[in-house]
Structure 1
Amino acid sequence: MTGAAPIHLLGFGLVSLAMVLTPGPNMIYLLSRTLCQGRRAGLVSLAGVATGFVCYMLCAALGITALLLVMPYAYDALRAAGAAYLLLLAWQAVRPGGRSPFELRALPIARGRRLYLSALLTALLNPKAAVLYLSLLPQFMTPHGDVFLQSIELGTTQILVSLTVNGLIVIAAGSVAVFLTRRPAWVLMQRWLMGVVLLGLAARLAFDRPR
């Protein structure tokens, strides 16, 4: 069985890091929950977010594997669809009047299972996670290798990156919130940074030859 190449694991890890460092639904939820209920609630929520990523990883691994076996040209279709979607996201990020997803909010107190399930739902509905697993992950795989194994390896890399960064954010939630709220220019900068990153990824998907 052929797993993911080290260079592909590194590349996907860097993309995952760039995505998780840009304020989005998961980061905002974890920050908001931690500030409202404390660090323990934030860590329970982080477990829910991690479970959501595992669900995405398994669905992507099974779905992409089946698709590439049934349709020889599915790789090209995924690449084209991914490029188009990334271009749309890039435009939404930089268009005049565009809004950042960054907005801390007050959350109702939740306990136990409800706390975990709320975080899980937030992760499952996160469009950035969908982009990573449905559009970007296939671009770091070798279609002639073991697609399922590569999907698991790449997905595990993303989950480890996300858990590390978001775990640090939960631990330092107060300082992170102060940093973001006192620097309104950060909102504009992260929109343009994300737009440029997405545009570059879209170009890569559109013009790269299948491996």
Structure 2
Amino acid sequence: MTTRTPARGLPVFLAAALRQPHLVGAVAPSSRDLGRQLATVVPRQGSPVVVELGPGTGAVSEVIDRRLPPGGRHLAVEINPRMAEHLRRRHPAMSVLCGDAAELGTLLAGADAARVDAVVSGLPWSLFGEDLQRRVLAQVCAALGPRGGFSTFAYRHAARLAGAQRFRALLDACFDEVIVTRTVWRNLPPALVYVCRRPIERGAGA
């Protein structure tokens, strides 16, 4: 079985990974198969507001855009300025906010999007300490509407590590429902997707 990864944007991804490995946390852009699993929280109807955290070179952004209905809005929060500029060129219909996901509420307020319908994350949670994991998840829960959905992933080989187990427990504290998908083998490395719904207000601060 071969693993498909997008070639476009790969030089930008590799440059960012070499310069800031603590912020990228991946060996290759996400595959389309992983993107499709992550995008299941994106509503297909109405005028939803969807936020993507850590879009990198936009591999998952393309999948989100294909699923998003014509009246939808796609915002992307990217901390790396070079990647943010790359995204603006490649995805002119997507609003790119260059900043830290831990300041999501402030970034969304500046974009006139205080409440959103879905959050799709490509952040490297396993590289974050517990405090940062809690802060970002608290921001996500505060931004999501009561029926909002959140999706993110973990690499299969690292799912049993202490940091990954801690993050999994935080998801259970933050959301009423957390579903773990089957392994997405067509990704490098293979990954599991967490599909979370109905944020609990006390969530990450509990």
**TM tier, smaller:** under 0.3
Q: Which has the higher helix share?
A: 1
- Largest Rg, 1 or 2: 1
What TM-score do you get using the length of structure 1 for normalisation? Answer: 0.23
What TM-score do you get using the length of structure 2 for normalisation? Answer: 0.24
**Larger relative contact order, structure 1 or 2 (CA cutoff 8 Å, min sep 6):** 1
Q: Which has the higher strand share?
A: 2
